[in-house]
Amino acid sequence: MIDGSMLAQIPVFDKLPQEDVALLMRMLCEETVPDGDVLMHEGEAGEFLVIVLEGELEIVKAMGTPDELSIAVPGVGEVVGEMGMINPEQGRVASVRARGPARVARLSRAQCELLVSRRPMLAFEMLRVVSERLRQTDDAIIRNLQQKNRQLQEAYGQLQEVQGRLLEQEQEERDRELALARYEHELRLARRIQQSMLPAQLPDLPGWQIAVRYQPAREVSGDFYDFLPARGRRLWMAVGDVTGKGVPAALVMATTRSTLRGVMQQAFSPAMALLQANELLCAEMPANVFVTSIVGLLDLDDGVLRYANAGHSLPFLSQAGNTLQLDATGVPLGLMPGMVYEEGVVTMQQGDELLLYSDGLLEARNLAGEMYGTQRIRQQLEADRVLYGAAQLSRMLDAVAAFAGPDWEQEDDITLLTVGSELD
C-alpha cells in the first residue's frame, strides 16, 4: 500500500494540496522489481517516472559497456526518470536498474501532465529536481575523470621532466574540453526546454496578422512570448522578460510561461491573470529574480483589446496615422505578493497594429553609450507606416543594428511581436 504521508514529503510533490496527493495515490501503479532488472534504458523515450517505495535503484551511464558509470543510488522516497518526462524526444540520459529487490510506484507521462495542468508549479519543482540530477551526473563524471587522471599521473610519474611537461599540457587541454562539454550540455538542455515552451506556430486568424521576431543575446533567452485561444473568439497574448540571461533566466522563463498559461485559462481579464500569476510566482521565485510581463486579451470580432502591465516596456499602437503608447501600471511578477494591476482598454480598427517588445530593443546601445529608446522606436514606426507585420519587424531590427554600429554585441534578448487588423 502506498503511503500518502511519504508522498507528501517527496520534494517534487511536497507542495501539492491534500486533494492532489490523494489523486496522485490513485494514479500510481505499484510494482515489484527483482534484483538487477532494468526499469529504464538509456536513449529510450521517457514515458513514465517511478517513486522508490522500498529498496534501492541505481542510475547508470553506458550500462553493460567498459565505460559503465554509476551516477547515483536513489532510495526510498526519491523520484527517478523525471528528466525524460521534460523532453522525451531527447531520450533518457541514463539507464536505471534495481539494486537488490525493490518496490516502486509508476506514474505515466499522461498522468504527470494532468498533475502539471492542475498545479503549474509542479513543473518548476520538476525542473529543480532535474537540475539536481544534472549536478549529480556532472559530479560523478568529474570524479571518474579525476580518478583516471590520477592514475595517468602516477603511471607517468617516473618519466623524464620533458615527458612530465607534455602530460601537464595534455591534462590542461582535457580539463578545458571537459568544461566546454559540460557547458554545451547545459545549453543544449536549456535550449530544448525553452524551444518546447514557445509556440510551435503563430495563430492563423482571418482578418488579423501576427508576426514575431525572437533574437536571444545568448544561446538561450530569458524572454518569452505566448498565445492562447479564449472562449468567444478571443485571443490571449503575452510577452515577458526575466532578469538576467542564459540558463538560469531560461529556467525561470519556463516556469513563468507555464504559470501564465495556467492562470489565463481561468482568468476573466489580463489584470486578474497577472495578479494570480504574481501570487504563485512570489512563493517560488529565486532571490533577486523577477519577471516583467504584459498580457493582453483581444476580441477578434470587435477589436477590443484589454491589457495589463507588470513593469514591462509600454507597447505601441499605430492607429489612424498616430503612434500611441498604451500605459498601464503594475509591479513586476515575483517581487511582492498582494499586488493589484491596472487594466487598460483600447479598440483596434482596420489597419491598426500593436507592437509588444522586450527591453532588449529599448536598451540597445551605440558606441557612444546612448540607448535606442522609446523615441527612436516611435520614429521608426512612423517612418515605416506602409510596412506591416513581419516586414515592419525586420525593418525595426535593421534600424537597431544600424544605430548600434557594425561591431554591436547584443547585450540583452530582443523579442518583438505585432498584432494587426488587416485592411479589406
Work out the angle between the directed axes of helices 109-118 and 121-155 (0-180°, nearest 10).
Answer: 120
- 160 or 387, greater pLDDT: 387
Class of domain 199-421: alpha beta
Summarize pLDDT for 52-87 with one digit per residue, the tens.
Answer: 989 999 999 899 999 888 888 988 888 888 777 777
> Average pLDDT of 265-285?
93
pLDDT at 128: 67
| CATH number assigned to the domain covering 4-119 | 2.60.120.10
Burial class (CB within 10 angstroms; exposed 0-12, middle 13-18, buried 19+) of 240: buried
What are the DSSP E strand ranges found in 278-395? 291-299, 304-310, 316-319, 322-325, 343-347, 353-357
Strand partners, 8: none
pTM of the model: 0.57
DSSP state string for 159-181: S-HHHHHHHHHHHHHHHHHHHHH
Question: Is the pLDDT reported for residue 126 higher than 70?
Answer: no
> Average pLDDT of 364-369?
89
Lowest-confidence range among 50-64, 199-213, 220-234, 245-259? 245-259
What are 167's three cell numbers? 602530460
Is residue 13 within 8 Å of residue 5, measured between CB atoms?
no
pLDDT at 297: 97
What are 162's three cell numbers? 620533458
pLDDT at 124: 64
Q: pLDDT-derived band of residue 190, with 50, 70 and 90 as boundaries? A: low
H helix runs in 235-269, sequence order:
246-264
Domain ranges of the chain: 4-119, 125-194, 199-421
pLDDT at 269: 95
> Helix, strand or coil for residue 204?
coil
Q: pLDDT-derived band of residue 178, with 50, 70 and 90 as boundaries? A: confident
Give the rounded percent of residues in the chain with a pLDDT score beyond 70. Answer: 88
pLDDT at 170: 82
Summarize pLDDT for 369-391 with one digit per residue, the tens.
Answer: 899 999 999 999 988 877 788 89
Beta strands across the sheet bearing 29-33? 29-33, 102-108, 48-54, 79-80
pLDDT at 385: 75
